[in-house]
Structure 1
Protein backbone atom coordinates (compact mmCIF):
# COMPACT_ATOMS: atom_id res chain seq x y z
CA UNK A 1 0.00 0.00 0.00
CA UNK A 2 1.40 3.40 -0.95
CA UNK A 3 1.55 6.31 1.46
CA UNK A 4 -1.07 8.15 -0.61
CA UNK A 5 -3.61 5.38 -0.03
CA UNK A 6 -3.61 6.30 3.67
CA UNK A 7 -5.37 9.55 2.78
CA UNK A 8 -8.99 9.14 1.72
CA UNK A 9 -9.34 12.64 0.34
CA UNK A 10 -6.44 14.97 -0.13
CA UNK A 11 -8.40 17.92 -1.49
CA UNK A 12 -8.34 19.96 1.72
CA UNK A 13 -5.42 18.28 3.46
CA UNK A 14 -2.83 20.68 4.84
CA UNK A 15 0.80 19.81 3.91
CA UNK A 16 1.89 19.92 7.55
CA UNK A 17 -0.87 17.43 8.43
CA UNK A 18 0.79 15.04 5.99
CA UNK A 19 4.20 15.67 7.57
CA UNK A 20 2.74 14.99 11.03
CA UNK A 21 1.27 11.68 9.84
CA UNK A 22 4.63 10.70 8.32
CA UNK A 23 6.43 11.59 11.56
CA UNK A 24 4.01 9.38 13.48
CA UNK A 25 4.45 6.59 10.92
CA UNK A 26 8.27 6.71 11.26
CA UNK A 27 8.11 7.19 15.06
CA UNK A 28 10.10 10.41 14.85
CA UNK A 29 9.89 12.83 17.74
CA UNK A 30 7.99 15.91 16.58
CA UNK A 31 6.31 19.08 17.75
CA UNK A 32 3.56 20.79 15.78
CA UNK A 33 4.85 24.33 16.39
CA UNK A 34 1.99 26.10 14.60
CA UNK A 35 -0.68 25.16 12.08
CA UNK A 36 1.88 25.82 9.33
CA UNK A 37 5.05 24.46 10.96
CA UNK A 38 6.38 21.23 12.43
CA UNK A 39 9.75 20.42 13.99
CA UNK A 40 11.11 16.92 14.36
CA UNK A 41 14.20 14.90 15.16
CA UNK A 42 15.40 12.25 12.72
CA UNK A 43 18.13 9.83 13.73
CA UNK A 44 20.96 9.35 11.25
CA UNK A 45 24.12 7.29 11.32
CA UNK A 46 26.31 10.23 12.34
CA UNK A 47 23.89 12.12 14.56
CA UNK A 48 20.31 13.21 15.15
CA UNK A 49 19.18 15.86 12.69
CA UNK A 50 16.68 18.60 13.50
CA UNK A 51 14.18 19.12 10.71
CA UNK A 52 11.62 21.87 10.38
CA UNK A 53 9.01 21.95 7.65
CA UNK A 54 6.88 25.05 7.19
CA UNK A 55 4.05 25.80 4.80
CA UNK A 56 3.88 29.32 3.37
CA UNK A 57 0.46 29.89 1.81
CA UNK A 58 1.56 33.31 0.48
CA UNK A 59 4.09 31.85 -1.93
CA UNK A 60 2.69 28.29 -1.92
CA UNK A 61 5.98 26.77 -0.80
CA UNK A 62 6.71 23.91 1.57
CA UNK A 63 10.06 24.78 3.12
CA UNK A 64 12.38 22.29 4.75
CA UNK A 65 15.46 22.95 6.80
CA UNK A 66 17.60 20.18 8.23
CA UNK A 67 20.17 21.34 10.77
CA UNK A 68 22.97 20.02 12.89
CA UNK A 69 25.30 21.82 15.26
CA UNK A 70 28.87 22.60 14.27
CA UNK A 71 31.37 24.68 16.18
CA UNK A 72 34.46 24.76 14.00
CA UNK A 73 37.55 26.59 15.21
CA UNK A 74 37.65 30.12 13.82
CA UNK A 75 40.74 29.39 11.71
CA UNK A 76 38.85 26.53 9.96
CA UNK A 77 35.79 28.50 8.85
CA UNK A 78 37.22 29.47 5.45
CA UNK A 79 37.91 25.77 4.73
CA UNK A 80 34.38 24.96 5.87
CA UNK A 81 32.96 27.44 3.35
CA UNK A 82 35.15 25.89 0.65
CA UNK A 83 33.94 22.35 1.35
CA UNK A 84 30.36 23.60 1.68
CA UNK A 85 30.56 25.08 -1.85
CA UNK A 86 32.02 21.84 -3.17
CA UNK A 87 29.14 19.91 -1.60
CA UNK A 88 26.57 22.23 -3.14
CA UNK A 89 28.13 21.65 -6.57
CA UNK A 90 27.32 17.95 -6.17
CA UNK A 91 23.66 18.19 -5.17
CA UNK A 92 20.56 19.26 -7.08
CA UNK A 93 17.70 19.05 -4.61
CA UNK A 94 18.76 21.58 -2.00
CA UNK A 95 21.76 23.43 -0.66
CA UNK A 96 23.88 23.70 2.45
CA UNK A 97 24.55 26.96 4.20
CA UNK A 98 26.44 27.76 7.39
CA UNK A 99 24.67 29.86 10.01
CA UNK A 100 27.68 31.06 11.99
CA UNK A 101 25.74 32.96 14.64
CA UNK A 102 23.64 29.90 15.52
CA UNK A 103 26.56 27.49 14.93
CA UNK A 104 24.41 25.38 12.62
CA UNK A 105 25.00 23.66 9.32
CA UNK A 106 21.74 23.91 7.40
CA UNK A 107 20.32 21.99 4.45
CA UNK A 108 17.55 24.02 2.81
CA UNK A 109 14.96 23.18 0.21
CA UNK A 110 11.69 24.72 -0.94
CA UNK A 111 9.01 22.74 -2.75
CA UNK A 112 6.88 25.11 -4.83
CA UNK A 113 3.23 24.06 -5.06
CA UNK A 114 1.87 26.94 -7.13
CA UNK A 115 -1.65 27.00 -8.48
CA UNK A 116 -3.16 24.97 -5.69
CA UNK A 117 -1.01 21.87 -6.31
CA UNK A 118 -1.25 19.18 -3.67
CA UNK A 119 1.82 17.50 -2.29
CA UNK A 120 1.82 13.72 -2.09
CA UNK A 121 2.99 11.93 1.06
CA UNK A 122 5.64 10.16 -1.04
CA UNK A 123 7.05 13.55 -2.09
CA UNK A 124 7.37 14.72 1.50
CA UNK A 125 8.84 11.40 2.60
CA UNK A 126 11.42 11.63 -0.21
CA UNK A 127 12.11 15.29 0.62
CA UNK A 128 12.90 14.39 4.23
CA UNK A 129 14.95 11.36 3.22
CA UNK A 130 16.95 13.45 0.73
CA UNK A 131 17.76 16.06 3.38
CA UNK A 132 18.98 13.43 5.84
CA UNK A 133 20.86 11.57 3.11
CA UNK A 134 22.69 14.73 2.00
CA UNK A 135 23.55 15.58 5.60
CA UNK A 136 24.81 12.04 6.22
CA UNK A 137 26.81 12.03 3.01
CA UNK A 138 28.63 15.31 3.63
CA UNK A 139 28.86 15.32 7.43
CA UNK A 140 32.24 13.52 7.41
CA UNK A 141 33.68 16.05 4.94
CA UNK A 142 32.59 18.96 7.14
CA UNK A 143 34.12 17.27 10.18
CA UNK A 144 37.38 16.42 8.41
CA UNK A 145 37.89 20.04 7.39
CA UNK A 146 36.86 21.47 10.75
CA UNK A 147 38.64 19.00 13.02
CA UNK A 148 40.78 16.65 10.94
CA UNK A 149 43.13 19.10 9.24
CA UNK A 150 42.13 17.80 5.82
CA UNK A 151 41.93 20.07 2.80
CA UNK A 152 38.46 20.54 1.31
CA UNK A 153 39.53 18.56 -1.78
CA UNK A 154 40.72 15.61 0.33
CA UNK A 155 37.62 15.73 2.52
CA UNK A 156 35.39 15.56 -0.54
CA UNK A 157 36.95 12.23 -1.54
CA UNK A 158 35.33 10.74 1.55
CA UNK A 159 31.97 12.32 0.69
CA UNK A 160 32.16 10.94 -2.83
CA UNK A 161 33.03 7.49 -1.50
CA UNK A 162 30.15 7.67 1.01
CA UNK A 163 27.66 7.99 -1.85
CA UNK A 164 28.26 4.40 -2.87
CA UNK A 165 27.44 1.22 -1.02
CA UNK A 166 24.67 2.53 1.25
CA UNK A 167 20.97 2.06 1.03
Structure 2
Protein backbone atom coordinates (compact mmCIF):
# COMPACT_ATOMS: atom_id res chain seq x y z
CA UNK A 1 0.00 0.00 0.00
CA UNK A 2 1.38 3.45 -0.89
CA UNK A 3 1.77 6.31 1.55
CA UNK A 4 -1.15 8.13 -0.09
CA UNK A 5 -3.37 5.04 0.18
CA UNK A 6 -2.55 4.73 3.90
CA UNK A 7 -4.23 8.08 4.49
CA UNK A 8 -7.19 7.69 2.17
CA UNK A 9 -8.44 4.91 4.43
CA UNK A 10 -8.60 7.01 7.61
CA UNK A 11 -10.49 10.22 8.16
CA UNK A 12 -8.02 11.92 10.52
CA UNK A 13 -5.74 13.84 8.17
CA UNK A 14 -3.86 16.03 10.64
CA UNK A 15 -0.90 17.42 8.67
CA UNK A 16 1.63 16.48 11.35
CA UNK A 17 0.34 12.89 11.34
CA UNK A 18 1.02 12.83 7.62
CA UNK A 19 4.53 14.21 8.13
CA UNK A 20 5.22 11.64 10.85
CA UNK A 21 4.23 8.82 8.54
CA UNK A 22 6.35 10.29 5.75
CA UNK A 23 9.35 10.57 8.10
CA UNK A 24 8.93 6.97 9.23
CA UNK A 25 8.55 5.82 5.62
CA UNK A 26 11.77 7.65 4.64
CA UNK A 27 13.53 6.33 7.78
CA UNK A 28 14.37 9.86 8.92
CA UNK A 29 15.16 10.46 12.55
CA UNK A 30 12.22 12.37 14.05
CA UNK A 31 10.57 13.43 17.28
CA UNK A 32 6.89 14.26 17.62
CA UNK A 33 7.41 17.30 19.86
CA UNK A 34 3.70 18.07 20.38
CA UNK A 35 0.44 17.18 18.67
CA UNK A 36 1.06 20.09 16.29
CA UNK A 37 4.84 19.87 15.82
CA UNK A 38 7.44 17.41 14.57
CA UNK A 39 11.23 17.76 14.38
CA UNK A 40 13.34 15.71 12.00
CA UNK A 41 16.95 15.26 10.99
CA UNK A 42 17.48 14.75 7.25
CA UNK A 43 20.88 13.92 5.83
CA UNK A 44 21.95 15.90 2.80
CA UNK A 45 25.15 15.86 0.77
CA UNK A 46 26.69 18.78 2.67
CA UNK A 47 25.34 18.15 6.16
CA UNK A 48 22.42 16.96 8.25
CA UNK A 49 19.57 19.46 8.25
CA UNK A 50 17.17 20.03 11.13
CA UNK A 51 13.57 20.34 9.94
CA UNK A 52 10.62 21.37 12.03
CA UNK A 53 7.06 21.37 10.78
CA UNK A 54 4.38 22.94 12.93
CA UNK A 55 0.64 23.19 12.37
CA UNK A 56 -0.77 26.58 13.42
CA UNK A 57 -4.54 26.08 13.65
CA UNK A 58 -5.19 29.77 14.40
CA UNK A 59 -4.13 30.79 10.89
CA UNK A 60 -4.46 27.34 9.26
CA UNK A 61 -0.82 27.30 8.17
CA UNK A 62 1.65 24.45 8.09
CA UNK A 63 5.00 26.06 8.86
CA UNK A 64 8.29 24.49 7.85
CA UNK A 65 11.75 25.59 8.89
CA UNK A 66 14.93 23.86 7.81
CA UNK A 67 18.05 24.96 9.62
CA UNK A 68 21.76 24.40 9.74
CA UNK A 69 24.39 25.94 11.98
CA UNK A 70 26.52 28.69 10.57
CA UNK A 71 28.83 31.09 12.35
CA UNK A 72 30.35 33.45 9.79
CA UNK A 73 32.82 36.12 10.85
CA UNK A 74 31.19 39.45 11.66
CA UNK A 75 33.25 41.07 8.90
CA UNK A 76 31.50 38.90 6.27
CA UNK A 77 27.90 39.43 7.44
CA UNK A 78 27.13 42.12 4.86
CA UNK A 79 28.20 39.80 2.04
CA UNK A 80 26.27 36.90 3.58
CA UNK A 81 23.08 38.98 3.63
CA UNK A 82 23.76 39.95 0.01
CA UNK A 83 24.04 36.26 -0.98
CA UNK A 84 20.84 35.46 0.95
CA UNK A 85 19.02 38.16 -1.03
CA UNK A 86 20.42 36.81 -4.30
CA UNK A 87 19.36 33.26 -3.38
CA UNK A 88 15.87 34.44 -2.43
CA UNK A 89 15.55 36.10 -5.83
CA UNK A 90 15.93 32.64 -7.39
CA UNK A 91 13.54 30.62 -5.21
CA UNK A 92 9.75 30.65 -5.16
CA UNK A 93 8.64 28.09 -2.58
CA UNK A 94 10.36 29.49 0.48
CA UNK A 95 12.98 31.95 1.63
CA UNK A 96 16.29 32.01 3.45
CA UNK A 97 17.05 34.11 6.48
CA UNK A 98 19.89 34.15 8.98
CA UNK A 99 19.13 34.06 12.70
CA UNK A 100 22.30 35.67 14.05
CA UNK A 101 21.48 35.14 17.73
CA UNK A 102 21.05 31.38 17.23
CA UNK A 103 23.77 31.21 14.55
CA UNK A 104 21.43 29.40 12.18
CA UNK A 105 20.76 29.64 8.48
CA UNK A 106 17.04 29.09 8.02
CA UNK A 107 14.81 28.09 5.12
CA UNK A 108 11.21 29.12 5.89
CA UNK A 109 7.98 28.19 4.20
CA UNK A 110 4.34 28.42 5.18
CA UNK A 111 1.66 26.34 3.47
CA UNK A 112 -1.77 27.89 3.82
CA UNK A 113 -4.51 25.31 4.35
CA UNK A 114 -7.28 27.86 4.92
CA UNK A 115 -10.90 26.84 4.71
CA UNK A 116 -10.26 23.25 5.72
CA UNK A 117 -7.91 22.46 2.83
CA UNK A 118 -5.88 19.31 3.28
CA UNK A 119 -2.24 18.66 2.49
CA UNK A 120 -1.55 15.35 0.79
CA UNK A 121 1.52 13.18 1.26
CA UNK A 122 2.92 14.18 -2.13
CA UNK A 123 2.56 17.87 -1.28
CA UNK A 124 4.30 17.41 2.08
CA UNK A 125 7.09 15.40 0.50
CA UNK A 126 7.50 18.17 -2.08
CA UNK A 127 7.70 20.83 0.67
CA UNK A 128 10.39 18.90 2.52
CA UNK A 129 12.31 18.08 -0.67
CA UNK A 130 12.26 21.74 -1.73
CA UNK A 131 13.65 22.80 1.64
CA UNK A 132 16.48 20.26 1.52
CA UNK A 133 17.33 20.87 -2.14
CA UNK A 134 17.32 24.66 -1.56
CA UNK A 135 19.71 24.30 1.36
CA UNK A 136 21.90 21.90 -0.59
CA UNK A 137 21.98 24.18 -3.61
CA UNK A 138 22.92 27.38 -1.76
CA UNK A 139 25.02 25.97 1.09
CA UNK A 140 28.28 26.23 -0.92
CA UNK A 141 27.55 29.88 -1.79
CA UNK A 142 26.83 30.74 1.85
CA UNK A 143 30.04 29.03 2.94
CA UNK A 144 32.14 30.57 0.17
CA UNK A 145 31.04 34.13 0.88
CA UNK A 146 31.47 33.59 4.63
CA UNK A 147 34.91 32.03 4.65
CA UNK A 148 36.70 33.39 1.58
CA UNK A 149 37.18 36.78 0.04
CA UNK A 150 34.84 35.90 -2.85
CA UNK A 151 32.22 38.47 -3.75
CA UNK A 152 28.52 37.56 -3.42
CA UNK A 153 28.23 37.45 -7.23
CA UNK A 154 31.16 35.01 -7.47
CA UNK A 155 29.80 32.88 -4.61
CA UNK A 156 26.45 32.56 -6.35
CA UNK A 157 28.09 30.96 -9.37
CA UNK A 158 28.49 27.74 -7.37
CA UNK A 159 24.71 27.68 -6.83
CA UNK A 160 23.73 27.77 -10.50
CA UNK A 161 23.23 24.05 -10.95
CA UNK A 162 20.54 22.05 -9.20
CA UNK A 163 21.75 19.95 -6.27
CA UNK A 164 21.29 16.24 -6.56
CA UNK A 165 21.28 13.78 -3.74
CA UNK A 166 18.92 12.29 -1.28
CA UNK A 167 16.43 14.23 0.76
1:54 aligns with 2:39: no
Tell me, in whole angstroms, the C-alpha distance in 1 between the residues paired with 2:112 and 2:2: 23
Equivalent residue number for residue 156 of structure 2: 156
Tell me, in whole angstroms, the C-alpha distance in 1 between the residues paired with 2:111 and 2:9: 21
Tell me, in whole angstroms, the C-alpha distance in 1 between the residues paired with 2:129 and 2:79: 27
CA offsets, 1:34-58, max 9 Å, x none?
0000000000000000000000111
1:140 aligns with 2:140: yes
CA offsets, 1:74-132, max 9 Å, x none?
10000000000000000000000000000000000000001101110000001000000
Tell me, in whole angstroms, the C-alpha distance in 1 between the residues paired with 2:107 and 2:66: 5
Within 5 A, what are the aligned runs for 1:1-167?
Answer: 2-9=2-9, 11-160=11-160, 162-163=161-162, 166=164
Instruction: Give aligned pairs, total.
Output: 165
> Contact conserved, 1:37 with 1:54, CA < 8 A, in 2?
yes
Pairwise CA distance, 1:10: 5.1
Q: Gaps spanning 5+ residues in structure 2: where?
A: none
Pairwise CA distance, 1:149: 1.7
CA 1:154–1:11 in 2, change beyond 3 Å: closer, same or farther?
same
Pairwise CA distance, 1:5: 1.3
RMSD value over aligned CA atoms? Answer: 1.3
Pairwise CA distance, 1:163: 1.7
> Contact conserved, 1:11 with 1:118, CA < 8 A, in 2?
no
Tell me, in whole angstroms, the C-alpha distance in 2 between the residues paired with 1:22 and 1:39: 12
TM-score of the aligned structures, taking structure 2 as reference length: 0.95
4+ residue runs over 6 A deviation: none
Pairwise CA distance, 1:148: 2.0
> Contact conserved, 1:10 with 1:118, CA < 8 A, in 2?
no
Pairwise CA distance, 1:2: 4.7
